[in-house]
């Protein structure tokens, strides 16, 4: 029995090859096409993630345009364990077509077993569709299968050519198709599954006999059949999954579809989204059942919103933890934690390192950075809290500034439990206000305030009589003062 007669089926896909070498000129961007983002992941990351349930030994990404940027991105995915399994890349120096790209990938790894091939610019493809496609490949004991879909407007896509019995004959590209073939609505999605022995032999026999002068991967269908392989096609039903991204308009369309899909899944799981059209949530953000999200809200990165929390309206959450019962409205929370039943907003900005404990409050027009704010403590309004440790049950008066930067270095301020900081206080770090202490309104605190003391650091008031009459003679203020009988000296 020859190698080509050996059926290469097994329960595991040996290798996934992702084609990501295209120039993406129509994007009109310095960023490689596959590195444009949708919902916090690149197009390439979405595709790689879709293959994560296939039990794959190797993932090989064929890179070309923007090689260094794409390879750096792959290294980041590996370093951060964002994609499971082994990932490598190969370089297609000259764009000679998809067949040439796959040949380069196969030559680099000497792979055996079953190979799945897909494009790196189809971010809406789902894990379930790939699993169904591969299961059909196994169930029908095929040597090659192509994933297809029927669409309303097939212009620009390779058409699926079948015989009178519905059996797959091949794929005809748009430029090479006849008028009759162009009327076919079933198209090639660019996703294949094929045994490695047949693939290698077919690739060796590919010739650039087409209008583009390229090595078409689609030609392997007839070649595998001529080699005695069994070929087939699996037709999927959701054309949205196979939308490619070639320009900014298509990117926007795909982004909108993903956003709608994400919100539908969350609502099916018990998340209340008041206005899905204005609520945008990233792929890696986790929203528990029982969360309520109001219009105009954006949840990005690896955020976790726990059951009972209320987000919005007009809130931005990024890489942050929002505990149960917490409320964040009209504010931005980045790389921070908001405790149970805590309140944030409106119009506040929590920067990296902020931890607001349970039942705490950050009110209107407050900015925090690298600040730990204890249980039940309040920062109600018009305040900056940077590099600070605040204890339990403390109240920070309006217009307080934690003066943490001396022009060269940052310093920490420590405020204890049950402290009352008077309005318009300046806490000049490094400084400590101990448990139970107060500061007088308008003070500039440069020294530690002991427990139970009140820090008063302001000059005694002095009224200079007649100043307006002398310095602002003839002004409206002077006229008003004179009418009121103000002393002139």
Q: Which residues are tagged catalytic?
A: 381
Q: 3-class DSSP state for residue 229?
A: coil
Beta strand pairing status for 159-162 and 168-172?
Answer: antiparallel
Here the tokens at position 278 are 């204005």
In whole angstroms, how far apart are CA 227 and each of 172, 198, 207, 222, 322? 20, 8, 16, 9, 59
Burial 292-330 (b: 16+ CB within 10 A, else e): bbbebbbbbebbbbbebbbbbbbbbbbbbbbbbbbbbbb
Stretch (H or E) spanning 72: helix 67-79
Q: How far is CA 388 from CA 127, 249, 396, 406, 480, in A?
A: 45, 46, 12, 15, 46
The answer to whether the bond into 313 is cis (omega within 30° of 0) is: yes
Whole-number Å distance between alpha carbons of 166 and 355: 62
**Distance (Å) of CA 340 to CA 151, 314, 333:** 48, 20, 15
DSSP codes, 171-226? EE-GGG--HHHHT--EEEEEEEEEEHHHHHHHHHT----STT-S--GGGHHHHHHH
Other Cβ atoms closer than 10 A to 364: 15
Q: Which residue has tokens 């500034």?
A: 401
Say if residues 390 and 371 touch (Cβ distance below 8 Å). yes
Q: What is residue 79's three-state secondary structure?
A: helix
Distance CA 412, CA 57 (A): 50
| Angle between helix 67-79 and 43-50 (nearest 10) | 50
């Amino acid at each position: 029995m020859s190698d080509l007669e050996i059926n290469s089926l097994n329960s595991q896909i040996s290798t996934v090859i992702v084609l990501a070498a295209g120039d993406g000129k129509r994007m009109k961007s310095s960023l490689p096409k596959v590195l444009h983002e949708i919902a916090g992941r690149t197009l390439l990351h979405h595709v790689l993630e879709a293959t994560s349930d296939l039990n794959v030994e190797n993932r090989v990404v064929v890179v070309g345009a923007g090689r260094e940027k794409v390879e750096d991105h792959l290294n980041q995915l590996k370093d951060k364990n964002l994609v499971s399994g082994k990932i490598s890349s190969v370089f297609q120096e000259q764009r000679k077509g998809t067949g040439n790209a796959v040949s380069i990938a196969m030559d680099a790894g000497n792979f055996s077993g079953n190979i799945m091939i897909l494009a790196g610019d189809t971010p809406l493809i789902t894990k379930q569709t790939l699993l169904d496609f591969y299961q059909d490949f196994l169930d029908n004991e095929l040597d090659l299968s192509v994933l297809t879909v029927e669409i309303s407007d097939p212009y620009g896509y390779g058409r699926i050519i079948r015989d009178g019995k519905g059996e797959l004959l091949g794929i005809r590209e748009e430029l090479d198709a006849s008028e009759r073939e162009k009327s076919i609505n079933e198209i090639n999605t660019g996703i294949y599954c094929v045994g490695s022995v047949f693939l290698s032999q077919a690739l060796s026999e590919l010739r650039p006999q087409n209008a583009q002068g390229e090595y078409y991967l689609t030609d392997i269908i007839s070649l595998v059949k001529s080699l005695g392989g069994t070929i087939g096609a699996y037709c999927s039903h959701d054309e949205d999954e196979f939308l490619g991204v070639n320009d900014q308009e298509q990117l926007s369309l795909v982004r909108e579809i993903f956003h709608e899909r994400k919100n539908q899944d969350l609502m099916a799981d018990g998340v209340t989204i008041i206005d899905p059209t204005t609520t945008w949530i990233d792929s890696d953000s986790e929203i528990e059942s029982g969360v309520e999200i109001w219009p105009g809200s954006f949840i990005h990165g690896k955020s976790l919103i726990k059951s009972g929390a209320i987000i919005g309206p007009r809130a931005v959450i990024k890489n942050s933890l929002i505990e149960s019962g917490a409320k964040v409205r009209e504010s931005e929370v980045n790389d921070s934690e908001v405790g149970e039943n805590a309140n944030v907003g409106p119009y506040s900005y929590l920067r990296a390192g902020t931890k607001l404990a349970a039942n705490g409050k950050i009110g209107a027009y407050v900015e925090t950075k690298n600040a730990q704010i204890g249980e039940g403590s309040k920062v109600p309004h018009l305040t900056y809290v940077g590099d600070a440790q605040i204890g339990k049950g403390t109240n920070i008066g309006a217009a307080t500034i934690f003066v943490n930067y001396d022009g060269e270095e940052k310093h920490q301020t420590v405020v204890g439990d049950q402290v009352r900081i008077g309005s318009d206080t300046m806490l000049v770090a490094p400084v400590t206000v101990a448990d139970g202490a107060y500061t007088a309104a308008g003070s500039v605190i440069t020294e530690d305030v002991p427990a139970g003391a009140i820090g008063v650091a302001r000059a005694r008031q002095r009224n200079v009589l007649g100043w307006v009459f002398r310095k602002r003679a003839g002004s409206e203020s002077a006229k008003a003062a004179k009418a009121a009988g103000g002393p002139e000296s």
